[in-house]
Structure 1
């Protein structure tokens, strides 16, 4: 029971269910900053431990003052922790101590607030209770004086605020640990803007705290029984935190993010950055009107959640440029029904190995290849290098078997799967890496909004179309390999059901993208439409089978894609399967196929037989094997799908005329292009001749 409660607490933390969303701090919050009279111009503007150490090492009095300040706030807490350990009451007092820790961290200033927020997604470092409580950290603190903010605008932008903004709110509309935000209007064009001004002495306070924490970490390294590498943790986190201190960087992040989304997701908007009026300590961006998506009662909230899912998947699997603060307050529904994403001070960059590794893991999951998944998890940093994988394999296999019970990969309950994976962290050398914790949080935030209006919302079902699109259109060799594996599996046998599953998901993605007006996808589909319009005129010599009700070939999006330049890779191995299907018919059917393909009288082909010597003529009439029947069945399923429900499967059960079958096969063959027709015939002829020689002489 206790373990279940611990797991539930952990999942609440990972999903961000305790994230606070307020504009100002509680009145009781007091922020302790380090105010120095000396110039801070020698402090580094990017994280450099050596430079920070050199600066504060020469100022022992300031360091001593800060240490006394820290101990006065945290001393009582540390003594109570020690007593809990001595009296063996750590578990009993865990919740109370976690609350106390959060309150202390809030008062210690921006470095500790941001570090606490970073630790709130690290179940490998903190207990579930502490992690969850730290998510309540209030980044909103009392505002600093407005005259100080106005003076900083003048110092940073080189002129009084009245020369830049025709109006500016008399007080901030929000205040956080790093800065506060005013609403204004640009003088030059009348645009409404948000003006963020950095809090004084932030750089000094942050660097002195990092200096103290890092030196403490160096001392702790001398005790091998302490497994947490404080120095490594601080260095990893501080480098990104320094980026957040630079508002120029935040503005550029927002601009880059908007460019990445503009082509395929015009439903996603980002505040425009006015770089002319932005500096390291002042950020001017467009003002976004709207309401928080989590609080909106409009009918399109569900659609915008789906847009959000695709947006985060695109970041995760495509751009690798990940918005690292998924928070209800950062997702806004605009009056014209778009999804605005705010705050790009902190972003995470995913490597190609992480992006491709996740898609490869999905492909392995589809085929229940758990040995491959375990290896994927090592690459993705869920399992440390060098760990014995044998004990973990059956545990993961059980978790994934349960997840797949509901109808395959599309119907996986992501949160239940994440919960089961989190459970493993208690008993095995298995961890939730920080980047994946952010993914869980982003999905948790979106899912929480969606479930209010749609209790049946399934995040994986919404995500699958985008994953299919990535598999089909990305030219990376690793994703090409993942696509082939998805269709052929470990056995290397073509699976028509998997093919249809992927193509249906791709069509769903196209439908959603077209309805959203993405210029990239609409442009692609316009190109496919040209191909569709040309289909009937490329092969005027095709004999027409008798028209029957329901037998009209319809060019669907999947077929149009396969016939496009983008579909070339997928078309190549699909062509192999169709050639195998044609090859599986009898001699009489083969003759008819050749006639239909334009070879004419097939007799000349067979007149070559004597030149091979004493060949068994029976070899020209190969029996249909069970493998052949499977191939034919697969081809018929694929053709029926691509021709939007033709009668081929019904006709095949009644001994269909091969002319009719090939009539329906041809639209899916690249033989629509006269340039590729010889390749179709060549493959087919080579296969028949190879079998003829093998069966005759071996």
Structure 2
């Protein structure tokens, strides 16, 4: 199976590298279970299953992080996506995966210059009045150079690394095949939904490599904050921007991690925390397009207690209905309405989730919400509440839709940023007005009328197409092509039981025939020519014993199941 996966990915050496790194960090058993050991043996590789002692002492989350770091940029990005799946992984895993830094050595400027010339249609020295050859930042997919436009405007150039797309695509193909193998060969890992995670990661990474899409998103966010002077999004210069190049205004501000400089500049930390929370909550609950990674590295503090947001490579999107559901759930947590919280979570249940008892889930959530009942709003730790709620989901093998996992991760990151600025930061109090506005807007006459018109339009469309659909149905019936499929689970199970019973009966008849035939052959005496028949009878006896044991074991297993 793995040999076919490697052939599909056309990257045998990369598969070998992955297996070697897994073995080095003590995951040799996983390599065996998914079939990589056989592939390595066919490739003539030596298998050293024992991990170095210092690596074996690492806790599993730390070992997985080290594995992802050693496997390179694509897998570092995968780890960052996994760090957003707070619904699948416990806090210690999320914390460890959150340490993955998207940093890489800078690419040689000669290759960068050649790509810039191709994208700009002219030499970069001609297009820009000044261009720094030393990058101010370098990551796995891109690096950033500072430059000056001919009119004197200071900008930054986010340049995609030359030749990175084929490397990433090869890794994505291999990851997709490995995810299929994991789900098939490692049942205990299925609860982490490897194929779903890889599919989500593939879409996210391909969007992130398209800098033109990132530019469009930045402009949409900037338009949403057009009336808010406290929030700045760098302007995009489309004359030079494209799929591999993002040219935007340079932000002259204080990095979000440099709190000492912010204090020295006389900025108000409490006000910065409130304005930052208000900005991200507006993106989440009002606009439906939000920065999915609002950590201090993507935030700058500006004079006048303003904030600038950069790097819109990872964003989340929420439909109007989803925003209402989020507001409903968060409001239920704050007000102690456990029934509402349970109903929303059951609506979010994925088709891949196993069947659970809704009454049991409601009971667990009721006990969870009850411990926060009558707690003053200022004393509520909303991020801790969400983390505890996600723990209940994990225990019930439930997962959030991908858009909501990004939302929860961004929410928790936002509260952490707020508490860095202000230890007394009250996320629940900041979120309450936004939640109330979303809930009220959903019940406003205009919103009700809009939903009514939408439902009426759907009903009218259905009625309009009804005669045509009935005509097609009647024509199919006249031609004898009308098929009906009824899928009854109980009958499927009955068929399986019937098949097992027939197999036991067949083996039982064969066993009985062997016993009778063996008894006849063993009674032959006298002529030495019949010695071979006695041997054949002896073999038949052993076959009868084996058949009888199989029938008994099959009956025993059937009763246990």
Place the TM-score, normalised by the shorter chain, in its bin.
0.5 to 0.7
Q: Quote the residue 1:70 is aligned against.
A: 18
Q: How far did 1:178 drift?
A: 0.3
Instruction: Could you tell me which runs of 5 or more consecutive residues in structure 1 were left unpaired when the two chains were aligned.
Output: 1-52, 482-698
- Counterpart Cα distance in 2 of 1:75 and 1:479: 57
The alpha-carbon distance between structure 1 residues 304 and 425, as it changes in their structure 2 partners (threshold 3 A), is: same
Q: Quote the residue 2:370 is aligned against.
A: 401
Which of the residues 333, 338, 356 maps onto 1:387?
356
Q: Quote the residue 1:32 is aligned against.
A: none
CA contact (8 A) 1:403 1:413 kept: no
Which of the residues 227, 240, 254 maps onto 2:218?
254
SS at match of 1:310: helix
Q: Quote the residue 2:319 is aligned against.
A: 351
Between Structure 1 and Structure 2, how many residues are aligned?
420
- Counterpart Cα distance in 2 of 1:239 and 1:309: 28
- Counterpart Cα distance in 2 of 1:435 and 1:421: 17
The RMSD of aligned alpha carbons is: 3.4
CA contact (8 A) 2:335 2:373 kept: no
> Could you tell me the TM-score, scaled by structure 2's length?
0.67
CA contact (8 A) 2:253 2:302 kept: yes
> Which aligned pairs between 1:244-643 and structure 2 lie closer than 5 A?
244-263=208-227, 265-294=228-257, 295=259, 296-297=262-263, 298-365=266-333, 368-381=336-349, 384=353, 386-407=355-376, 412-425=380-393, 427-431=395-399, 434-452=402-420, 454-473=422-441
CA contact (8 A) 2:285 2:434 kept: no
Q: Deviations over 1:27-85 (max 9, x none)?
A: xxxxxxxxxxxxxxxxxxxxxxxxxx99x96884xx12322333343332254566999
Which of the residues 153, 166, 172 maps onto 1:210?
172
CA contact (8 A) 1:197 1:282 kept: yes
The alpha-carbon distance between structure 1 residues 457 and 141, as it changes in their structure 2 partners (threshold 3 A), is: same
Q: Quote the residue 2:196 is aligned against.
A: 232
SS at match of 1:465: helix
The alpha-carbon distance between structure 1 residues 469 and 59, as it changes in their structure 2 partners (threshold 3 A), is: closer
Q: How far did 1:280 drift?
A: 1.1
Q: How far did 1:313 drift?
A: 1.4
Instruction: Could you tell me which runs of 5 or more consecutive residues in structure 2 were left unpaired when the two chains were aligned.
Output: 34-48, 450-561
- Counterpart Cα distance in 1 of 2:18 and 2:431: 46
Q: Deviations over 1:259-301 (max 9, x none)?
A: 11223x3311111111111111111010001112342224322
Q: How far did 1:433 drift?
A: 5.3
- Counterpart Cα distance in 1 of 2:335 and 2:295: 34
1:192 equivalent to 2:151? Answer no
The alpha-carbon distance between structure 1 residues 286 and 391, as it changes in their structure 2 partners (threshold 3 A), is: same
- Counterpart Cα distance in 2 of 1:140 and 1:314: 30
Q: Deviations over 1:518-560 (max 9, x none)?
A: xxxxxxxxxxxxxxxxxxxxxxxxxxxxxxxxxxxxxxxxxxx
- Counterpart Cα distance in 1 of 2:78 and 2:407: 19
- Counterpart Cα distance in 2 of 1:369 and 1:126: 26
Q: Quote the residue 2:104 is aligned against.
A: 141
> Could you tell me the TM-score, scaled by structure 1's length?
0.55
- Counterpart Cα distance in 1 of 2:70 and 2:101: 10
Q: Deviations over 1:346-377 (max 9, x none)?
A: 21111233201122234545664422321111
- Counterpart Cα distance in 2 of 1:146 and 1:211: 29
- Counterpart Cα distance in 2 of 1:303 and 1:205: 44
